[in-house]
Structure 1
Amino acid sequence: MKQWPLPLMGLLIAAGLTAAPPDKSTLSTPDLTPIAPQVPAADRHQPNRVFLERADVLKVDPDEPNVQILVGGVTFRRGDMFMYCDSARFYTDPSLPADSMEAFGNIRMEQGDTLFLYGDEMEYSGMEQRATVYGIDRDVRLINRDVTLTSPVIHYAMGINLGYYDQGGTLTDPQNTLSSLEGEYAPPTKEANFYGRVRLTGISDKGDTINVRTDTLLYNTDTRIAELPVFSRIIGQKGDIITSNGLFNTAANTTTLLDRSLVHTTDGHTLTGDSIVFDRTTGIGEAFGSMVLTDSARSVRLEGDYGYFNQQIDSAYATGRARAMEYSKPDTLYLHGREIRTFLTPDSLRLMVANPEVRFWRIDLQGVCDSMTFVQQDSTLYMNGDPIVWNENRQIFGNVIQVHLNDSTVDRVELPDFAFVAEEIEDEFYNQMSGKTMIADFEDGDIKRLQLNGSVQAIMLPEENDSTYNKIVSLESSYLDAYFANRDIERAHMWPETTGTVTPIYLARRSQLYLPKFRWETEIRPNGPDDIFPRTNPATQIISTTEEEIQPEKDEETTESD
């Protein structure tokens, strides 16, 4: 956007403008002898001079030979501008490069059939090439086709074709009305500038109300585009816009906003960014650069390098270091995906979908996967594509993971298609369980019950009374139901048949420490709200086993468990 120049009116006012109407008493000269007006024929086309075209009566005072007093049907011309009045004092000094006048009664200025200026009294300064028109009975009107400028006093700079006011005024066109303490309008360019307590009101071509409040506004009456270079508020039926650098197309009801402008809707959304394009009629907005979209009604914040928002269908999109924050619960959920979408389903479920490279962090739960759907109504995470979740020293993975959250902590984790849970005891030693399906229930962030169904396998390291670990228990069954207390297994039941082995740790081979599909991927675990973004060449620590390593030991002690 261009730099805002010093108002032309300010320069003109500084040049010596006064807003006092001319003294009408100077026309009272009863002792003067009227003479017939004589209109000279020569040199009547000098562009910057004013010429008398006609008058009913002309009077001359011998003491003021350079002053003509004109009465009745007075007409002046300056170039192609004609000036009409009932009476006037016309100052003509051959030694000066320009003429001046004072005019009274039914002031009318015309330029072609497109520009008209109406008032009650007028002063014209030939040196400054400026006419000042005063309204005594009503405001002065400057009319240019379908644009009208009104004010108690209007100045018209003929040299640059600029009308302006400094005592409060209004500009109207077929769509909008603009008012301010000071204003200027240039008929040739259709540019209008307004300063001080600026108000713009109107109805857009799409039927929406327009209401702008600011202290400086630049406007074009042809395009109906308003430039807002200072703090401004656009007020509408569906929300407000706050900007200090923006363009408002009042005809199309669209805005282009810069410098971290803010769009605020009545339904609780706010949108900001380095630049924003927003359609006030459709409620569709695009934000570029450090976009932030907040839904205060649902306690969701969406960030990204680029964002899209559709107010009508209540949907949003973010990409480029996209991050979503869900803060309806005491602990905020921070979520990243290369793309994040939020929308309403036909049955009014509020969904947040992220993919790919999904990473999330909450103080009691962290996870990664390829795609994730968050249902806000019941606070459930649906994870797909190699999902892994961590809770304290536990890691859970499978083909699909469903995480149910309550007000403050994890409530339940379900794995309907393969499940593997590992709990770190100390370096390279882990309690492990796997099965076809799993349900884990939590209470106050701690696991309370674990149910595994189908092809259940387990490796456990029971803690001895002296808080040491000296044996490895390997178990297999069809079903497992375990209860926990103080984060340790309190009791467990496996059925219908259970086989297993107990091996002293000092005799166990490395392959006996892990179930076949075990892996421990702590290096990709998000460590905080800002660690959810993709890492550059992340180092992944994977501990696994191969078929060749898994060999039975001759020294094993075989046992059965119920």
Structure 2
Amino acid sequence: MKLRAVAIFMLCLLGIGLIGAMQPVRKRTAKNHKTAHDKRVYLVHADELRYNQYQNGDAQVLTGHVHFRHVGANLYCDSANFFQQTNSFEAFGHVRMVQGDTLSLTSDYAYYDGNEQIAQARYNVVLKHRKTTLYTDSLDYDRMYSFGNFFEGGKLVDNGSTLTSDWGEYHTDSKMAMFYYDVRLRNKKFYLTTDSLFYDTRLSRAHIVGPSNITSGSSHIYSEDGYYNTKTEMSELFGRSVMKDKGRSLVGDSVYYDSKNGLSHAYSNVVYVDSVNKNKMTGDYCEYNEETGYAMTTKRAVAIDYSQRDSLYMHADTFKVFTFNINTDSVYRKIHAYNKVRAYRVDVQAVCDSLVYNSQDSCMTMYRDPIVWNNGQQLFGEEIRAYMKDSTIDHVHVVGQAFSVEQLADSVHFNQVSSKEMMALFNKGEVYETNATGNVLIVYYPMDDSDSTLIGLNYTETPKLRMFLEKRKMKKIWMEKPTGVLYPMTQIPPSKYFLPGYAWFDYIRPLNRDDIFNWRGKKEGQELKEQVRRTAPASVKKAEGGPK
């Protein structure tokens, strides 16, 4: 009987002890609402509580609808081991942490340290913060500093974009995510791969901090430093980033790209390359519209054609490229260059105020005091039209006050032709035929075939001229009703050495590809004064079938 009484007495004491252990939880729960600095973990509810020091050590074993509260967060699970002395617990099954109405964390298992306010969630982890969701299998979430760290692969979904990587962080206070190792960002419009990426979920803005590739449709971007907004599809790229689209590329110290509208703007040391047509433009500012094919460059702008063995370098204040019938078989382009145009190639040089190149007829038209040099030949007039064939010069048409000057080997005498219009035909970069019409004046020095000495000066006037050359020497000449005089070299009148309007613009001629930046205009008084062409009387037009 005494042993039975002692056993009953001991059971009563144990029951009182368990009741006493539960009561402080209720008191701390009530106190948590009054004290902001209370960091104790409170057990709000469990269907069943068991305590066995020999089996579970200091853990209170909780099962059934377990609910904890800690510093503004509610934590739920199917069962838990509660370590009251260390202010921590292990949670099993349907683990869920809720903080306010903006953040929730779910997993299959979690360990929560109330002193450090760190939740170590494992297996099928889902962190939801406003409209952003992070999926992973291993996440350590620091409530004190408001960030989660995943290290066994993670996926973040935000605003229709999906980010994956091997390791990363997500900060719920700043809404910033950092991703490292095999990073992939994808949405309906683009695909980005890199090794390091910062992502601002507030702005849906990705910050590239390492070698990265972005693919969007036919366009491709390579950058090691830049920003990409997944919502607006705007890119800000730095550090010589490269953009490519259908055989064209754009590089600059900084590039701004609107993929939604296909617009690009590049600044400082810009290089635009068209590998299809084998030309490129450089400058300190460039813009390109991939939808319309429009391109523009300025500030030390240079256009380079490298389709031939020798590249053609051209400088102007501004270049503009217009594309017509884009995305069709009849596509063609017009290139406008204006203000102080200078061009250099080994065999051809040119200077003018502005020009237009039309790929439809391969014609380059030069305006306002244009001059073209080919070896020792110089052409100038009011307007010069140069036609290309297979990217080489085919023929040149000089309109208005046309003047051709050829410097002879002695550099003192010059063959000259002036007329209203002139046509020069080229073969492999050399003139082989020249045609002149309208008030043709000629100064020509015949040579002795035996020793190439000058015989005299031939001054001729004719309505039309046709001259054939071989190796830059006259082979045959045809003129319509010519009148002229041959002066021996010792009897040339001083007034016959040069035709009216003659000028040798060697001081203007570009000397090399770097000299295209050095503008040198004509000397005062040597500029052409454009002649106004009088229109025919109405009666003549009517007789010729012209407009009434």
Name the TM tier (shorter chain).
Answer: 0.7 to 0.9
SS in 2 for 1:35: helix
TM-fit CA distance, 1:66: 4.9
2:46 corresponding residue in structure 1? 55
User: Any runs of at least 4 consecutive aligned residues in structure 1 with deviations exceeding 6 A, and if so which?
Assistant: 539-544
Answering whether residue 272 of structure 2 is matched by residue 287 of structure 1, we say: no
* Residues 284 and 297 in structure 2, CA contact (< 8 A), matched pair in contact too: yes
Answering whether residue 437 of structure 2 is matched by residue 453 of structure 1, we say: yes
1:148 corresponding residue in structure 2? 133
For residues 182-201 of structure 1, the aligned pairs below 5 Å read: 182-201=167-186
Amino acid at match of 1:211: Y
Residue of structure 1 aligned with 2:152, choices 149, 160, 167: 167
Q: Distance in 2 between matches of 1:232 and 1:47?
A: 47
RMSD: 2.4
Q: Distance in 2 between matches of 1:69 and 1:314?
A: 71
1:527/1:220 Cα in 2 relative to 1: closer, same or farther (>3 Å)?
same
TM-fit CA distance, 1:304: 1.2
1:282/1:238 Cα in 2 relative to 1: closer, same or farther (>3 Å)?
farther
Q: Distance in 1 between matches of 2:106 and 2:147?
A: 15
1:481 corresponding residue in structure 2? 466
Q: Distance in 1 between matches of 2:38 and 2:279?
A: 67
Q: Distance in 2 between matches of 1:446 and 1:156?
A: 77
* Residues 157 and 163 in structure 1, CA contact (< 8 A), matched pair in contact too: yes
SS in 2 for 1:183: strand
Q: Distance in 2 between matches of 1:65 and 1:327?
A: 82
1:534 corresponding residue in structure 2? 518
2:207 corresponding residue in structure 1? 227
* Residues 122 and 134 in structure 1, CA contact (< 8 A), matched pair in contact too: yes
Amino acid at match of 1:472: L
For residues 106-117 of structure 1, the aligned pairs below 5 Å read: 106-117=94-105
1:319 corresponding residue in structure 2? 298
* Residues 518 and 543 in structure 1, CA contact (< 8 A), matched pair in contact too: no
Instruction: Please identify, of 326-335 and 162-171, the stretch whose mean Cα deviation from structure 2 is larger.
Output: 326-335
2:61 corresponding residue in structure 1? 69
Deviations 1:109-136 (A, max 9, x none): 111122111112211234543111122x
SS in 1 for 2:507: helix
SS in 1 for 2:60: strand
1:333/1:65 Cα in 2 relative to 1: closer, same or farther (>3 Å)?
closer
Deviations 1:415-452 (A, max 9, x none): 13221101111233111111111111222333222111
* Residues 53 and 59 in structure 2, CA contact (< 8 A), matched pair in contact too: no
1:22 corresponding residue in structure 2? none
Structure 1 unpaired stretches of 5+: 1-31, 204-208, 545-562
Answering whether residue 88 of structure 2 is matched by residue 100 of structure 1, we say: yes
TM-fit CA distance, 1:327: 2.8
Residue of structure 1 aligned with 2:237, choices 243, 257, 273: 257
1:360 corresponding residue in structure 2? 343
Amino acid at match of 2:180: Y
1:269 corresponding residue in structure 2? 248
Residue of structure 2 aligned with 1:402, choices 385, 393, 414: 385
1:83 corresponding residue in structure 2? 75
For residues 340-419 of structure 1, the aligned pairs below 5 Å read: 340-345=319-324, 348-407=331-390, 409-419=392-402
Per the normalisation by structure 1, the TM-score is 0.83
TM-fit CA distance, 1:397: 0.5
Deviations 1:507-552 (A, max 9, x none): 44544321110000112212233322234xx4868998xxxxxxxx
SS in 2 for 1:252: coil
2:109 corresponding residue in structure 1? 121
Q: Distance in 1 between matches of 2:307 and 2:57?
A: 87
TM-fit CA distance, 1:468: 1.9
Answering whether residue 406 of structure 2 is matched by residue 423 of structure 1, we say: yes
Instruction: Please identify, of 240-249 and 57-66, the stretch whose mean Cα deviation from structure 2 is larger.
Output: 57-66
1:555 corresponding residue in structure 2? none
Q: Distance in 1 between matches of 2:331 and 2:242?
A: 28
Q: Distance in 1 between matches of 2:185 and 2:427?
A: 58
SS in 1 for 2:512: coil
Amino acid at match of 2:222: I
For residues 35-54 of structure 1, the aligned pairs below 5 Å read: 35-36=18-19, 37-38=22-23, 39-41=25-27, 44=32, 45=35, 46-54=37-45
Amino acid at match of 2:197: L
Q: Distance in 2 between matches of 1:357 and 1:152?
A: 65
For residues 426-437 of structure 1, the aligned pairs below 5 Å read: 426-437=410-421
* Residues 520 and 542 in structure 1, CA contact (< 8 A), matched pair in contact too: no
Amino acid at match of 1:159: M
1:304 corresponding residue in structure 2? 283
* Residues 39 and 115 in structure 2, CA contact (< 8 A), matched pair in contact too: no
1:213 corresponding residue in structure 2? 193
TM-fit CA distance, 1:248: 0.6
SS in 2 for 1:337: strand
* Residues 307 and 391 in structure 2, CA contact (< 8 A), matched pair in contact too: no
Amino acid at match of 1:73: H
TM-fit CA distance, 1:357: 0.7
1:77/1:40 Cα in 2 relative to 1: closer, same or farther (>3 Å)?
same
Q: Distance in 2 between matches of 1:479 and 1:404?
A: 22
Deviations 1:50-85 (A, max 9, x none): 223333343444568854333333222221011122
1:496 corresponding residue in structure 2? 481
Instruction: Please identify, of 356-365 and 243-252, the stretch whose mean Cα deviation from structure 2 is larger.
Output: 356-365
TM-fit CA distance, 1:49: 3.2
SS in 1 for 2:406: strand
1:523/1:174 Cα in 2 relative to 1: closer, same or farther (>3 Å)?
same
2:446 corresponding residue in structure 1? 462
Amino acid at match of 1:258: F
Deviations 1:399-427 (A, max 9, x none): 11111233374321111322110111123
TM-fit CA distance, 1:473: 2.0
Q: Distance in 2 between matches of 1:278 and 1:78?
A: 47
TM-fit CA distance, 1:362: 2.4
Q: Distance in 2 between matches of 1:539 and 1:251?
A: 51
1:214/1:376 Cα in 2 relative to 1: closer, same or farther (>3 Å)?
same
Q: Distance in 2 between matches of 1:515 and 1:304?
A: 41
TM-fit CA distance, 1:308: 0.9
* Residues 56 and 71 in structure 1, CA contact (< 8 A), matched pair in contact too: yes
1:55/1:460 Cα in 2 relative to 1: closer, same or farther (>3 Å)?
same
Q: Distance in 2 between matches of 1:516 and 1:321?
A: 37
* Residues 331 and 408 in structure 1, CA contact (< 8 A), matched pair in contact too: no
Answering whether residue 229 of structure 2 is matched by residue 241 of structure 1, we say: no
Q: Distance in 1 between matches of 2:336 and 2:522?
A: 26
Amino acid at match of 2:384: I
